[in-house]
Amino acid sequence: MSDAAPPIDLDGLRDDGLARIAAATSTDDLKSVEGDVTGKRSALLEARKSLGQLAPEDRKTAGQALNEVKTTLEAAMDARRSELAAVELATQLESERLDLTEVPTGVTVGHAHPVTQAWDELEDVFVGMGYRVAEGPGIETDWHNFDALNIPKGHPARDGFDTLYVEHGPPGSTLLRTHTSPVQIRTMLAQEPPIYIVAPGRVFRRDTADATHLPVFHQIEGLVIDKGISLADLAGTIEAFTTAYFGPGYTSRLRPNYFPFTEPSAEFDVQRPDGSWLELGGCGMVHPNVLRAGGVDPEEWSGFAFGFGIDRLASIKFGISDIRNYFRNDVRFLSQF
């Protein structure tokens, strides 16, 4: 049988293979070299097949020699692959590099959405007055959204909120928050007074969208709890905010109103330089029941809270008559701000 076996030039196979591996210029290139050198099309594989034709006593040594060549070639291939991959990665990173120091000319750079601008400015105004920014979840328990805010089950004020409920837990127990006021409760439960926070965020109501309503909108809540806080502090804060946000030509007033979570309660309006009044939001002295729900002793502490719509505020500032425009994503509208 041994007469049929062609001589195998193992050294030649190895040297040729190593040369081709070294000459590969990319990982793709190396992949095809691999096919030729150790893969299905390779002379090495052919040689292995021909082992069967050797005499049994020669077969073992020839097999071992063949395996050694294969191992050598595979190791060379691995090493070359890492080399090439590193070069390719470096080239790719270099080509995808962005020069962030250069502002392109003639290209629209874009800016924050007007509601986001209003949100940021409001935070700035209140942070400037010493407030901290607090947050709460959009999905709330009915306890945080209602009960703890002195709106027990069956209270008529619940109907006014057009609540969207979430299927989670017992029916009616979980909802999309209808206002940012539950952040009052969460903040009181999380920290000891004195408290000076604003809580901007998204709120939800079962409303049909029209020029002045959206089912998803934004509010900013304010909460102050300290010793000896009075209605005068609330009125002064609203006035300070009004001039800081709108400018010196603007002023504010409080009008008696009713909210279950504040007593007394008021609506606050802003007067524009032309003398017209705009209703902005609600406010009042935090109700003792709300302080108690937040673990705060009403005998020791008192406070005020306020809440108003950010979208509405932005509309006043920018002179927008239909708030639906904010969320139509029409660049011609948005690019004006």
287 binds ligand PHE (CB under 6 A): no
- Pick the stretch among 74-82, 105-113, 271-279, 302-310 that binds ligand PHE (CB under 6 A): 302-310
Q: What count of Cα atoms within 13 Å lies in the side-chain half-sphere of residue 236?
A: 7
Query: CA-CA distance, 287 to 155, in Å (whole number)?
Result: 16
**Sheet hosting strand 216-226, strand order edge to edge:** 132-133, 195-204, 216-226, 302-309, 277-286, 262-271, 251-259
Beta carbons within 10 angstroms of residue 2's beta carbon: 10
> CA nearest 5: which of 64, 46, 65, 66?
46
282 binds ligand PHE (CB under 6 A): yes
Binding mask 162-181 for ligand PHE (x = CB under 6 A): -----------------x-x
Q: Where are the beta strands (DSSP E) in 86-207?
A: 132-133, 139-141, 164-165, 174-176, 195-204
Closest contact distance (angstroms) between CB of 254 and ligand PHE is 11
259 binds ligand PHE (CB under 6 A): yes
Query: CA-CA distance, 93 to 3, in Å (whole number)?
Result: 57
Closest contact distance (angstroms) between CB of 103 and ligand PHE is 41
48-59 as b/e, with b when 16 or more CB fall inside 10 Å?
Answer: beeeeebeeeee
Closest to ligand PHE by CB, 141 vs 262, is 262
- Pick the stretch among 107-115, 130-138, 247-255, 299-307 that binds ligand PHE (CB under 6 A): 299-307
Query: CA-CA distance, 59 to 284, in Å (whole number)?
Result: 97
Closest to ligand PHE by CB, 60 vs 255, is 255
Assign 3-state DSSP to the chain and report helix, strand, coil percentages, each to 5: 45, 20, 35
- Pick the stretch among 99-107, 193-201, 235-243, 278-286 that binds ligand PHE (CB under 6 A): 278-286
- Pick the stretch among 62-70, 191-199, 275-283, 292-300 that binds ligand PHE (CB under 6 A): 275-283
The torsion region of residue 117 among left (phi > 0), alpha (psi -120 to 50) and beta comes to alpha
- Pick the stretch among 20-28, 91-99, 101-109, 301-309 that binds ligand PHE (CB under 6 A): 301-309
182 binds ligand PHE (CB under 6 A): no
262 binds ligand PHE (CB under 6 A): yes
Closest contact distance (angstroms) between CB of 299 and ligand PHE is 21
Closest to ligand PHE by CB, 79 vs 189, is 189
307 binds ligand PHE (CB under 6 A): yes
Question: Pick from 62, 175, 225, 283: which binds ligand PHE (CB under 6 A)?
Answer: 283
Beta-carbon contacts of 71 under 8 Å, excluding residues fewer than 6 positions away, are none
Closest contact distance (angstroms) between CB of 221 and ligand PHE is 6
The residue ranges that bind ligand PHE (CB under 6 A) are: 179, 181, 221, 259, 262, 281-284, 305-307
